[in-house]
Amino acid sequence: MKTNVMRKLLLATALCVKMASTSVAAETVKVGVLHSLSGTMAISETSLKDVLLFTFDEINKSGGVLGKMIEPVVVDPASNWPLFAEKSKQLLEQDKVAVVFGCWTSVSRKSVLPVFEKDNGLLFYPVQYEGEELSKNIFYTAEAVNQQAIPAVDYMLAEGKKKFYLLGSDYVYPRTTNKILKQYLKAKGIPDSDIEEIYTPFGHTDYQTIVASIKKFTASGKACVISTLNGDTNVPFFKEFANAGLTSENCPVVSFSISEDEFRGLPAKELVGHLGCWTYFMSLKTPENKAFVNNFTKWLKDPKVTGVDYKVSGIDTKKRVTCSPMNLSRMGVYLWKQAVEKAGSFEVDKVRDALVGQKFKGPAGEVTMQENHHLINNVYIGETLASGQFKIIKSLGPVSGEPFSEKFLPKTTASLK
């Protein structure tokens, strides 16, 4: 008799635990965060993880998404491209996340793309890239070539630059971007003899020979560097650049992967006058940007994710700034939220359809998601200040993101395909 009573009590307890567990699960929606928190890309990607957690907390405080609290699942692919694919598989197949926000380099994105297409996952990619790609499973919220590289080159041409030194990290984004830029420059009358193209591995530290080459290249004047260096390799490059006596006056550098966040680790005072081209700068004077910067700064004093049992660790709270990839990461979350609410579902196919046409008034102005999964976004050119911030020197207004170069290269140039 006692045994039967005990069994009933154990069964009842197990049922209560299962019901409670199911109830908690029903109150949250899992989302993946796929950014390198170690390795050469951690200098850039850690801040994207931080701003995503901040954004989840913002949304959770306002009631979540369809009444569910966002529960982040954070993984560290450690700047290891094959590991990105393994971690994305884990997020989609084991953790069953509704969406993933992540990747920085194009090689990491290309590593995970087959996984997302196979499992019909949804990835928001927030970093400037080379284009020549379109997947139904990826929404590209960041700058395409015609929203960053082309406007930057146009600006340098207008400034009278006649020689272009193309320096990049050795992988798909710099090589493809520079292939497009070489065709564009030739169409603008710049001969091969006035275009130099050099690549270095990730994590490269010895830039003495390359900087000496740049110094020789610029000796005749009217030259500039177009940099697609990624990650912590920018630190030794810019230090060597400054040590060699090169400045923004005798050789301006336009960087496509250096934002306010990366400048925290660079000798900013020695790099005054160098340029960046982005769809956002922290110095923008808009009510939305003021709120974004202030709220993120306040959150850093006590970082957490409201509504879920998740301990946030490893967040650097000192001298933090905001930048374009951070802004685009945050806007991606809000665009996803709006699409989910429009669809009334977290199902990928329904959310994908609902995303097209979504608008969001962000810190740099209103953006619109196009049918080609790229944003219409405002484009700005900024000049580096000693503070590590950028002074906006040109606003180009809204530009429609276009992934395929054949649609924006001059008609006289050959297609890359």
Alpha carbon distance 192, 190 (integer Å): 7
For the chain, domains (ranges, CATH) are 25-143+285-375 (3.40.50.2300), 146-283+378-407 (3.40.50.2300)
**Residue of 268, 85, 103, 78 lying closest to 173 (CA atoms):** 103
Pairing outcome for strands 69-75 and 28-34: parallel
Check residue 49 and give its pLDDT: 96
**Residue of 317, 123, 153 lying closest to 133 (CA atoms):** 123
Alpha carbon distance 71, 69 (integer Å): 6
Check residue 26 and give its pLDDT: 58
Check residue 21 and give its pLDDT: 39
Torsion of CA 84, 42, 44, 31, to 10 degrees: 50
Give the number of other Cβ atoms within 10 Å of residue 15's Cβ.
10
Q: Left, alpha or beta for 391 (phi > 0: left; psi -120 to 50: alpha)? A: beta
Beta strands across the sheet bearing 69-75? 69-75, 28-34, 100-102, 123-125, 138-140
Question: Could you tell me where the DSSP H helices lie in 223-286?
Answer: 234-243
How do residues 318-340 score in pLDDT, each as one tens digit?
889 999 999 999 999 999 999 99
**Residue of 190, 143, 173 lying closest to 396 (CA atoms):** 143
Instruction: Return the residue matching tokens 């200040």.
Output: 385
How do residues 258-306 score in pLDDT, each as one tens digit?
899 988 888 788 789 999 999 999 999 999 999 999 999 999 998 888 7
Over its length of 417 residues, how does the chain's per-residue pLDDT go in tens digits? 444 544 444 444 444 434 333 344 459 999 999 999 999 899 889 999 999 999 999 999 999 999 999 999 999 999 999 999 999 999 999 999 999 999 999 999 999 999 999 999 999 999 999 999 999 999 999 999 999 999 999 999 999 999 999 999 999 999 999 999 999 999 999 999 999 999 999 999 999 999 999 999 999 889 999 999 988 888 899 989 999 999 999 999 999 988 999 888 887 887 899 999 999 999 999 999 999 999 999 999 988 887 766 556 678 888 899 999 999 999 999 999 999 999 999 999 999 999 999 999 999 999 999 999 999 999 999 999 999 999 999 999 999 999 999 999 987 655 554
Check residue 356 and give its pLDDT: 98
CB distance 392 to 382 below 8 Å:
yes
